[in-house]
Structure 1
Amino acid sequence: MRKPRTRATRGAPTLADVAARAGVSPATASRVLHQSTRRVGPQHRERVLRAARELDYRPDLSAQAIARGTAPVLALLVSTIDDPYFSAIAEGVARSAQRHGVIVTVAVTGRDTARELTSLRTIRGQRPRAVVVGGSRTVGSPHGEALLAELRALCAGGGRAVFIGRPAGGLPAVRPANLDGARALGAAVAGLGHRRAVVVTGSGRLETVRERTDGLREGLAAGGGRVVAVERDAFDRGGGYRATRRLLARGGLAAADVLCAGNDFMAVGAMTALRDGGLRPGQDIAVTGFNDIETAADVTPRLTTVHFPLGAIGGRAAELALGGGAVEGEDVLVPGQVRLRDSCPDLRNRRTGAP
């Protein structure tokens, strides 16, 4: 056996330094530290890992990217980080990436398609192993084709790309069943005796907004209800607050018995606006959300919503992006489940006069 040598070089330790200290060849050290599929005996493996710890060795991701074509990095593009919807998805992505020995970098795009494209071009220069694009697609975006071209180029270079949302360009996707979930929510609301809904939601250019609004219309109609107005603003808590304040100012809630928010974050803002306007959410007017973020059952009143396993959605997207199987065109639709809570009371007894 070779006699282990101590490191004689200066500066950051190299792979050769680790191999010298462990008494193995650089090729063996590389297989251990770079997670090669070629097996290394447990004794040699332990010596390499110990030498790496002693030298505080850090792999050069840029060098790995050049050698392999990709770096052990998954890039996640999300609209925002203050919405619990995206933080729950990001947590699922991170858990999956950790199992694959991959680190996660996050780019926040603010639902700005130009910013999304710029972020992706920057990320491609880092040669990530995979990119997961979160957030709703924007209908009619002038940057849509350019974004797809960047993602295809990433795949052609050995990387992978997955959408959380509708699939596009033959790339795989994992997405909540928004249309079905909203349809079920509308039917459940109508089943409780609510007949006139005001929808507070985001831009109609967002595919998620379109699906959820259409689903609510269909579900309410099946139970004898209808949407009497749609008020749009930013797809976040502030947008829910502003849209509801505008409705209150012009009397737009007088004909409604339920306010359906496009997501839970908007619903929280809407409930604050209702209180500021002198109305009691869940008593003077019902309120619903969508997604079932972690705090939905903790607000007062507890929020009626559609539950999706957001962490599992993020994890599934990462698994598609980091796995070894063929995934071209795969579309994983994750069903939701209506959660009826205090914010949406049963009106049927009130209308019939039953005790």
Structure 2
Amino acid sequence: MEPAPTTRLDDVARALGVSAATVSRALSGKAGVSTQLAERVRETARSMGYVANEHARSLAGGTSSVVGLVVHEIGDPYFTEIAGGLVEAAEEHDLLVQVCHAGRDPGRELKQVRTLVAHGVRAIVLAGSGHTDPEVEAGVRATLEGYTVRGGRVVVIGRRHLDSDALGPDNTGAGAALARHLHDLGHRRVVVLSGPSWLTTVEDRLSGIRSVLDARGDVDLQVLETDFTRDGAAAAALTALERWPATTAVLALNDAMAIGVLDSLRRRGVDVPGQVSVVGFDDVAVAAQLSPSLTTTRFPLADMGREALDLVLAPPGASPRRRRIDHELVVRESTAPPPTDHHQE
């Protein structure tokens, strides 16, 4: 076969019907590939003219000064604060951070991950919710597997279906804490403004809320799905109050959404918390500065960014390392007992 200088590792893998990771292991002499298959891989690679890119190999091995960070929404304070912590930590190591915005689009995320891998970044951090269907992440999972086999390092934040070191915010516990807070105040007519149900963060936060309010058995709980954004929640809040006018508490599944709710209710002349209490998740920096200040659950966002950088620069373990990030309930001015005419014992 005529040598093809542009032949890639993926081309060899496709010709053999195996993964890129298997081809990489076979060509580098690593364990995990049978002698017979390794010989087939080497012969196919030779016949296709594949030549290992030593420059890319050295970058994946850790000599690059760039770390890739993929986030869902760079304008969301949740991701901004994580990115800030990671960038600050990277500067201490004389590293640069390349930030990519995926917009919660799986195809766009895959394209960005592949681009980071192709550019030979030293490490990759994926921040943001995964998908409830693991098959949606199959492309990203395969790409990252090949990248790590070649020496790259990966850490994910808030993902459960990727075989990488991970930081996992306790979203279920945070949801339960907020639900208990509202119930203890006396709220029995509660609306949850939910993001897309296919996000694992949404699934986990809603699960925590239901674990408390469904168990109490005396709460009229409504769930309205909208965009996981400030604008989506601002519009959904008005829809919710029109549909369920007796609502005394609105539980938004992130602080950006809660900020949208507060703005929307203020414009409509609805008193918070006199008529309706509002809560969020994450405790972004601006939450304490709002009027009224926002009751929420705190995750140490900047610290999460720093911890992700430390973990991604550490030598890999024998198996993926999972670190749970605990929450803290932060009670502020946006919650109070419901109006007397709405209170139910």
TM-score of the pair, normalised by structure 2: 0.78
CA positional deviation for 1:65? 4.9
Structure-2 residue corresponding to 1:173: 166
Q: Does 1:204 align with 2:197?
A: yes
Pick from 332, 337, 345: which aligns with 2:336?
345
CA positional deviation for 1:211? 0.8
Q: 1:271 to 1:82 in 2, by over 3 A?
A: same
SS in 2 for 1:284: coil
**Aligned 1:132-211 pairs, distance under 5 A:** 132-140=125-133, 143-211=136-204
Contact 2:77 2:284 in 1 (8 A): yes
Pick from 85, 90, 94: which aligns with 1:101?
94
Q: Does 1:284 align with 2:278?
A: no
Q: Distance in 1 between matches of 2:313 and 2:212?
A: 37
Structure-1 residue corresponding to 2:4: none
Structure 2 letter corresponding to 1:120: V
Structure-2 residue corresponding to 1:226: 219
Q: Does 1:275 align with 2:256?
A: no
Structure 2 letter corresponding to 1:316: E
Q: Does 1:86 align with 2:79?
A: yes
Q: Distance in 2 between matches of 1:342 and 1:326?
A: 44
Q: Distance in 2 between matches of 1:161 and 1:100?
A: 17
Listed one character per residue, the Cα deviations across residues 76-100 of structure 1 (whole Å, up to 9, x for unaligned) are: 0001111110011001111222233
Structure-2 residue corresponding to 1:329: 320
Q: 1:166 to 1:142 in 2, by over 3 A?
A: closer
Report the structure number with the largest CA radius of gyration.
Answer: 1
CA positional deviation for 1:350? 8.4
Q: 1:188 to 1:282 in 2, by over 3 A?
A: same
Listed one character per residue, the Cα deviations across residues 242-277 of structure 1 (whole Å, up to 9, x for unaligned) are: 2112223xx223232100001111011112222233
Q: Distance in 2 between matches of 1:66 and 1:213?
A: 43
Structure-2 residue corresponding to 1:115: 108
CA positional deviation for 1:330? 1.2
Pick from 261, 278, 286: which aligns with 2:252?
261
TM-score of the pair, normalised by structure 1: 0.76
Contact 1:259 1:287 in 2 (8 A): yes
Listed one character per residue, the Cα deviations across residues 24-67 of structure 1 (whole Å, up to 9, x for unaligned) are: xxxxxxxxxxxxxxxxxxxxxxxxxxxxxxxxxxxxxx997564
How large is the RMSD of aligned CA atoms in angstroms? 2.3
Q: Distance in 1 between matches of 2:317 and 2:72?
A: 28
Contact 2:186 2:343 in 1 (8 A): no
Unaligned runs of 5+ in 1: 1-61
Structure-2 residue corresponding to 1:308: 299
Q: Does 1:299 align with 2:290?
A: yes
Pick from 42, 67, 70: which aligns with 1:77?
70
Q: Does 1:317 align with 2:308?
A: yes
Contact 1:274 1:280 in 2 (8 A): yes
Q: 1:124 to 1:168 in 2, by over 3 A?
A: same
Structure 1 letter corresponding to 2:107: A
Q: Does 1:252 align with 2:243?
A: yes
Q: Distance in 2 between matches of 1:157 and 1:244?
A: 48
Structure 2 letter corresponding to 1:79: H
Q: How many residues align?
A: 290
Q: 1:265 to 1:322 in 2, by over 3 A?
A: same
SS in 1 for 2:335: coil
Q: Distance in 2 between matches of 1:66 and 1:288?
A: 48
Structure 2 letter corresponding to 1:330: R
Q: 1:319 to 1:227 in 2, by over 3 A?
A: farther
Q: Distance in 1 between matches of 2:219 and 2:85?
A: 36
Structure 1 letter corresponding to 2:272: P
Which structure shows the bigger proportion of residues in helix conformation? 2
Q: 1:351 to 1:145 in 2, by over 3 A?
A: closer
Q: Distance in 2 between matches of 1:344 and 1:128?
A: 45
Contact 2:238 2:264 in 1 (8 A): yes
